[in-house]
Structure 1
Amino acid sequence: MNRRELAAIGFMTFALFLGAGNLIFPPLMAQQAGDNWLLAVAGFLVTAVGLPAITLLILARLPSVEHLTLGLPKWMDRSFWLLIFTTIGPAFALPRAVTVAYEMGVKPFYSGDGLLLFSVFFCVLTLVLALRPGKLVDYIGKVMTPALIIMLCALTLFALFNPLGSASEATGPYQSAPVVSGLTQGYMTLDALAAVVFGWVIINAIRRTDKKSTNGRRNTLTRSTLVIVGIYAILMSACYLAMGYLGATSSNIAPNAGNGGEILAAYAAGQFGMMGQVILALITLIACLTTTVGITTANAHYYENTYGVKFALSTGIICGLTATISNIGLEALIQLSLPVILVLCPVAISLVMAVIVIPAKSGVQGAPAISKGQTLVVSVAALFGTLDALMILGKLPEDAIELGQSMLPLFNENLSWLVPAVITLMLLKLVRLLNTSKRNSIAELQQ
């Protein structure tokens, strides 16, 4: 794979992850972190960029993305993928992207209610681009992403040379623990979960583009993925730092902002006037479009590979559902989908860790056999992830909250699943090492 192809897929990877939600998280976090904004962003980068990057690298080492769950029982395997693609798809992420694109890209310039017409147009455009997956790199990596980067750079450069304010004092948890708070915010972007979905698009794009078919193909794929993930990590980190700087210096123009979108809108208007609002609208529309195209393509690939549904048919159904759900109350949809997402994210992260530390052993015809260890790690993560989800939703009894705060590390950060999952993983690794050592000793005695 030549440098131009590597750069194109690297840009595509960056654009797929950079949705409107990713643009509006860092400014609000940095405004609240105030003079500790760099520490908060540093923590944010670990989970919002580091976890997705590691996930993509692990997926590239597998024969296919589906192999990630082949060590699980079949019902758990199918349930995992179906829930992921349904939730990070027409049930939540796609309608949210369409709605955010309308709210930030169209509504500021249009006083009427045009969501229905916009959602149909936006989903038709998504459908047209998704139906030509072979051209996805050209559309997103070579055209849309450079335009997105140029507009982001313009906004950031003006902010650097003409800041509209200065960082204020940190508030809330950012006063005492800015790094940990940043880690939690980065985790809540759910990009680690999105990486599993986008892995279908990104790894397939790398495999299609990689012309080499020698015995070193896997090594070639790994090297190409490393470069592409590096491009993504650099661009995404730079974007988050830029958005963080805008947020940290926005206390004068957007005090006590309710969300990052308000901060970006105020900054764009303050720097460029009406032209700034147009630039922000274009950034939002392109970011949302690249996300909807990527998620739709990944969903269609999954249904085609797993259930034999034709790619064009599944793409059309997904876009139709997205256009419909975008107009029937996103707030209620979020309330229904959020618990599932908050449980799936720990499951996905723990599964990636388990595949690294305790890979499933080969079974019949070289395929991975059911791994009790991986199943146990995933079950532990799901159990405590459910606890975190109930905590975030305010459904946990006071007695359970007090018990969690006293017994579970990171409970208040909604990461109570992490330590139990890691301990389970390490114990299983130790048992495997001891069993291997015992078998080797027996084999030596028999010789």
Structure 2
Amino acid sequence: MKKNIDIIIIGFALFSMFFGAGNLIFPPYIGMTSGSGWLTSFLGFVLADIGIILLSINAVAKAGSYQAVVGRAGKKFGISLEFIMMLCLGPILVVPRTAATTYEMSIAPLFGSFNPALFSVLFFGLTFLLTVKPTKVMDIIGKFLTPVLLVALAFLIGKGIISPIGELKSFTGSEELFSTGLTQGYQTMDALGVGGVTALIMTSFLTKGYKDKKENAILTVKASLVAGLGLILVYGGLTYLGATVSTIYDVSISQTTLLINITSHLLGSAGTILLGIVVAFACLTTSIGLTSVTAKYFEDVSNKKVKYEYLVTLICVFSAIVSNLGVDKIISIAAPILTVLYPVSIVLVLMSSFGNLFTKNSTFKGAAYATLLISLLTVIDSLGISVSFVHILPFNNFGFNWLLPAIIGGILGHLFLKDEVNMFYNKAS
């Protein structure tokens, strides 16, 4: 009984850590653009978002750490990739964005004249208080914050199902709808922080007395399934809400405006308040989780020479400053960095998930470096320096133009790079 309760609590916390404000605005827009075909788009979204998350958590849990996965492309490569990724998840991009999003979607609509600098101090002051004790993070999120978030979401979705706003616009072309959902799910880039998040989950189970590594890994996967189920239900509900306004709005409407209008249609002025609560709790839980994950990572990197509490303080202070740049500016900074990091991370995680097929580190190296090259060229092209061939690669329209080069790179690495069989995987499996 205790084990099941622990799985549910940590699963709830994991749900909240992945369910940020970005996840709130994607599904309604997908539904609005899909109408009667919303379920097809939704399935594509789930596959590219939740599917990759679950595969990633499973791979990291089996390997024992994220470094054991990405390090197969080379020790220095793995350390560098993880280090940059954790900086992005922490004070540079993702954590500051949670405060900026909360201000723009929750505080500004309700308290228009509230000072943004003061709000950032209050937001990260609360983040600090709820994060400074690492063993309590998952319990605080799972027991207290997530239930509030779920109740608010359930109320909004339930109202939309009982009293649909409008008719579902008729759509055909299931292949196009599925690819739309697939692309949107990929663009959430939720699996980027899965290494640190998985480590936090496993540590939480460890502090609850589950010291056997195999049992700990199994419980971690089960908690991720709880989170995955929660995400599927919420995403499904939000996608359907979007579909009910498909005859009212078109693709010209912004994702944020669409969500605000849906809540206003369903609940009137009370909808603005409810949306503010949902966004605030979604962003706060993400901020708490990622601040803890990042601080724990850098504490371990420093061999505990820099204490967790000091790192939490540093992250909160720096994030408070960066958050005042605003959501649009932070996103514009984040986009090229994430475009480079995310594909490489996915390739290494997917290959690790099927480790019985990929036993040589040289295969990982070839695939990782080929993916990195294409990702870098894609970013260079987006900055105005023409690298036109990246657009003619297969699956470019889905954001997967790195897929074929990764396969070719893996084959070349396997054939021409000398390497020993990865013994760690054999032991872990």
Q: TM-score scaled by structure 2?
A: 0.89
1:169 is displaced (CA, Å) by 4.6
The equivalent residue for 1:441 is none
AA at the equivalent of 1:312:
E
Residue number in structure 2 paired with 1:232: 227
**Structure 1 residues 359, 183: closer, same or farther in 2, change over 3 A?**
same
Do 2:55 and 2:353's aligned partners in 1 also have CA atoms closer than 8 Å? no
Post-superposition Cα deviations, 1:108-131, rounded to whole Å, max 9, x if no partner, equal 112215211111100010011110
Two-structure CA RMSD over aligned residues (Å): 2.7
Structure 1 residue 99 displacement after superposition:
0.8
The one-character-per-residue Cα deviations of 1:223-268 (angstroms, maximum 9, x if unpaired) are 2123211111111011111110111112355555633322222122
Q: Distance in 2 between matches of 1:359 and 1:118?
A: 50
Return the alpha-carbon distance in structure 1 between the equivalents of residues 176 and 358 of structure 2.
Answer: 41
Per the alignment, do residues 302 and 248 of structure 1 end up closer, same or farther by CA in structure 2, a change over 3 Å counting? Answer: same
Does 2:259 match 1:271?
A: no
Q: Secondary structure at the residue paired with 2:92?
A: coil
Q: For the structure 1 residues 410 and 123, does the alpha-carbon distance in structure 2 shift closer, same or farther, using more than 3 Å as the test?
A: same
Contact 1:34 1:248 in 2 (8 A): yes
Q: How many residues align?
A: 417
Letter in 1 for 2:199: W
Deviation at 1:107?
Answer: 0.8
Structure-2 residue corresponding to 1:152: 153
Rounded Cα–Cα distance in structure 2 between residues aligned with 1:281 and 1:93: 19
Q: Secondary structure at the match of 1:251?
A: coil
Q: In 1, distance between residues paired with 2:220 and 2:104?
A: 35
Shift in Å at residue 428 of structure 1?
Answer: 5.7
**Identical aligned pairs, as a percentage?**
28
Q: 1:410 aligns with which of 395, 420, 425?
A: 395
Cross-structure match for 2:286: 291
Q: What is the distance in 2 between the residues matched to 1:357 and 1:431?
A: 21
Amino acid across the alignment from 1:138 = D
3-state SS of 1:264 partner: helix
Q: Is the 8 A contact 2:366 2:412 kept in 1?
A: no
The answer (yes or no) to whether the contact 2:34–2:177 under 8 Å persists in 1 is: yes
Q: Based on CA coordinates, which of the two structures has the bigger radius of gyration?
A: 1
Residue among 371, 374, 379 paired with 1:381? 371
Q: Please name the residue that 2:23 is paired with.
A: 22
Tell me what 1:306 maps to.
Answer: 301
> Quick one: distance in 2 between partners of 1:328 and 1:14?
27
The answer on whether the counterparts of 2:298 and 2:311 sit within 8 Å (CA) in structure 1 is yes
Q: Following the alignment from structure 2 to structure 1, what is the Cα–Cα distance between the partners of residues 108 and 249?
A: 20
Query: Which amino acid is the alignment partner of residue 353 of structure 1?
Result: L
Residue 399 of structure 2 aligns to a residue in which SS? coil
Unaligned runs of 5+ in 2: 422-429
**Which residue among 325, 328, 331 is the counterpart of 1:328?**
325
Q: Distance in 2 between matches of 1:16 and 1:117?
A: 24
1:371 aligned residue (361, 365, 368) = 361
Q: Which residue matches 2:426?
A: none
Write the deviation string for residues 85-110 of structure 1: whole angstroms up to 9, x where unpaired.
11122111112111111111111112
Quote the residue 1:221 is aligned against: 216
Q: Deviations over 1:369-398 (max 9, x none)?
A: x9333222211111112233345x35352x
Counterpart CA distance in 2 for 1:248 and 1:240 is 12
Cα distance change of structure 1 residues 121 and 341 upon mapping to structure 2, 3 Å threshold: same
Which ranges of structure 1 fall in alignment gaps of 5 or more residues? 363-369, 437-447
Deviation of 1:220 (Å): 1.3
Equivalent position amino acid for 1:69 in 2 = V
CA 1:163–1:361 in 2, change beyond 3 Å: closer, same or farther? closer
Name the amino acid aligned to 1:250.
V
C-alpha distance in structure 2 between counterparts of 1:74 and 1:405, whole Å: 32
In 2, Cα distance between the equivalents of 1:77 and 1:70? 4
Shift in alpha-carbon separation, 1:329–1:5, aligned structure 2, 3 A: closer
Q: Determine helix, strand or coil for the equivalent of 1:2.
A: helix
Say whether residues 1:422 and 2:404 are aligned partners: no
Contact 1:84-1:197 at 8 Å conserved across structures = no
State how far apart, in whole Å, the 2-side matches of 1:287 and 1:330 are: 15
Match of 2:108 in 1: 107
Contact 1:35 1:167 in 2 (8 A): yes
Distance 1:100 1:299, change over 3 A: same
Question: Residue type of the partner of 1:306?
Answer: V
Matches within 5 A, 1:337-348: 337-348=334-345
What is the TM-score with the length of structure 1 in the denominator? 0.86
Which piece of structure 1 moves more, 412-421 or 2-11? 412-421
- 1:395 corresponds, among 381, 384, 389, to 384
328, 346, 351: which one pairs with 1:349?
Answer: 346
